[in-house]
Amino acid sequence: MKLHGWGRYPVVDATVSHLVREQSALQLITNTQQPLTIRGLGRSYGDSSIGSNVIDLSLQDRFIGFDQTTGLLECEAGTSLHDILKLIVPKGWFLPVTPGTQFVTVGGAIASDVHGKNHHLDGSFSQHVESFRILTGLKEILECSAGQHPDLFSATCGGMGLTGLILSARIRLRRIASSDILCRSLRAENLEQLITLFEEHAASPYSVAWIDCLKGGNQLGRSILMLGEHAKDGALQVAPDSAITVPGIFPGAALNRATITAFNTLYYHRSPKSTAAQRIAYRPYFYPLDSLNHWNRMYGHQGFVQYQFMVPKSAGSGAMRKILEAISASGKGSFLAVLKTFGPGNGNDLSFPGEGWTLALDFRCDSSVFALLDRLDAMVLEAGGRVYLTKDARLKAADFRRGYPNWERFEATRARHGAHGLFASAQSVRLGLL
Ligand SMILES: Cc1cc2nc3c(=O)[nH]c(=O)nc-3n(C[C@H](O)[C@H](O)[C@H](O)COP(=O)(O)OP(=O)(O)OC[C@H]3O[C@@H](n4cnc5c(N)ncnc54)[C@H](O)[C@@H]3O)c2cc1C
């Protein structure tokens, strides 16, 4: 079948096997003639979960245990965050860290070491993983944690499915008293104002800014900062799923500078200058994009790439300003981009976050976009930053190594656990991780 990531670029021909029972995993990796690519729900944007020989874990989704007093949850690796929320929210628990969609698996969340709107306080997903079980290339199942096989734990969290097959995991959840979020929106006229606002509200449990990347000059970085915290009282309700679906692939021309500028301007002015806290359900706060099923079809047949990078605080806001200027001058960035602050990194070999700022935005694939992204890579690396692998579809191997200086340690751990030649993806081949 034809297979792609969430960005619908690139597309490969693949044979896909579904893992339903854990017992068949060993047989699968023993009998395989070609390297295996592990796939969860395919929400990574680029080519990290595609290859010619794919093993799909999304049906391996059973709960194993849930201690309602301590909030320790154990489940198979293909369980989605959506299904976990359905189980835990009514019982007064929430995910400790969640990305901007609930349609990712636990295995995918560990393999990308995903972050949420609370990285500045709570770090990334793996920091809340008590342990996981992994089937390695040496055909053994190991229980890994920060204290047990720490080398494999550190390589697997953020390791993009290249160290082995995560089978199940135990996660420490967060207590909540209500499923609602108290949300406050603040307008920032430009990047400098936004960074000041982030600093002033550093104690806010959740924060994220929607930024208009088409604005330049003294409006560069014009944005809306959305702060959030769990309400202290109220009901514990699971948010209903969206019933709206993008019916087919949009014509590419529907998204152009004029339509995007109009959308961004409307969005900015719709938000009042500064608001008192509003009570909203957790879904529109954490997962606004989940309200439109298959929204990735809006970028047309050629698909899109999401570009997410981080620059360290030590490089100063000037580094982010320079990159934003280049994006704004290109006129190519689409819709509103997302800017967040990161707390310190966690030392895993390939985890993306590090103390600083991160920006994510989409670019519709066209002939000129890749040259622009190469230029942005150079600026990001120059500032001491890196590009997020779970969004990537085109980074060069040499630039990957500069951004992820622990790649050699990662490769040494893979070698010790028999991963080379067995676990790979279109991305790993491109990045020279064979
Ligand atoms: C709308 C949207 C918003 C998002 N927001 C954020 C965000 O805020 N923060 C963030 O960090 N990310 C974000 N993401 C990215 C997403 O969280 C990650 O790409 C995540 O890894 C996807 O999980 P998945 O189950 O779909 O994995 P896939 O996309 O199928 O796979 C991702 C990687 O995980 C590996 N993998 C999957 N399962 C296993 C397993 N069982 N064992 C070993 N390796 C495995 C794959 O090989 C691949 O390398 C967002 C994505 C979307 C579409």
How far apart, in whole angstroms, are the C-alpha atoms of residue 427 and residue 358?
21
Verify whether ligand 1 is closer than 6 Å to residue 98 (CB atom): no
Look at residue 22 and give its three-state secondary structure.
coil
Q: Across 301-378, where does the E strand assignment appear?
A: 304-312, 336-342, 356-364
Distances (CA, A) of 252 to 42, 55, 332, 364, 415: 22, 32, 13, 8, 43
Verify whether ligand 1 is closer than 6 Å to residue 158 (CB atom): no
User: Nearest to residue 51, comparing CAs of 421, 419, 395, 426?
Assistant: 426
269 burial via Cβ count (<10 Å: 0-12, 13-18, 19+): exposed
Verify whether ligand 1 is closer than 6 Å to residue 42 (CB atom): yes
How far apart, in whole angstroms, are the C-alpha atoms of residue 386 and residue 156?
19
Q: Which residues does the chain have with pLDDT short of 50?
A: none
Q: What is the pLDDT of residue 257?
A: 63
Verify whether ligand 1 is closer than 6 Å to residue 289 (CB atom): yes
Neighbours of 256 (CB within 10 A): 12
Among 97, 105, 358, 388, the mutation site with the greatest number of ligand 1 atoms within 8 A of its Cβ is 105
Among 4, 95, 104, the mutation site with the greatest number of ligand 1 atoms within 8 A of its Cβ is 104
- Kindly report the pTM of this predicted structure: 0.96
Verify whether ligand 1 is closer than 6 Å to residue 41 (CB atom): yes
Among 49, 351, 359, the mutation site with the greatest number of ligand 1 atoms within 8 A of its Cβ is 49
Verify whether ligand 1 is closer than 6 Å to residue 358 (CB atom): no
Per-residue pLDDT reduced to its tens digit, 74-112: 999 999 999 999 999 999 999 999 999 999 999 999 999
Joined tokens for residue 241: 């799923």
Verify whether ligand 1 is closer than 6 Å to residue 132 (CB atom): no
Q: Residue of the nearest CA to atom 53 in ligand 1? A: 43
Sign (positive or negative) of CA dihedral 149, 155, 156, 158: positive
Q: What H or E segment, with its residue span, contains residue 55?
A: strand 53-56
User: Nearest to residue 255, comparing CAs of 362, 349, 344?
Assistant: 362
Which atom of ligand 1 sits closest to the CA of residue 167? 41
Taking a C-beta distance cutoff of 8 angstroms, is the pair 227, 184 a contact?
yes
Q: What is the pLDDT of residue 258?
A: 61
Q: Which residues of 48-58 are buried (b: 16+ CB within 10 A; e: fewer)?
A: bbbbebbbbbb
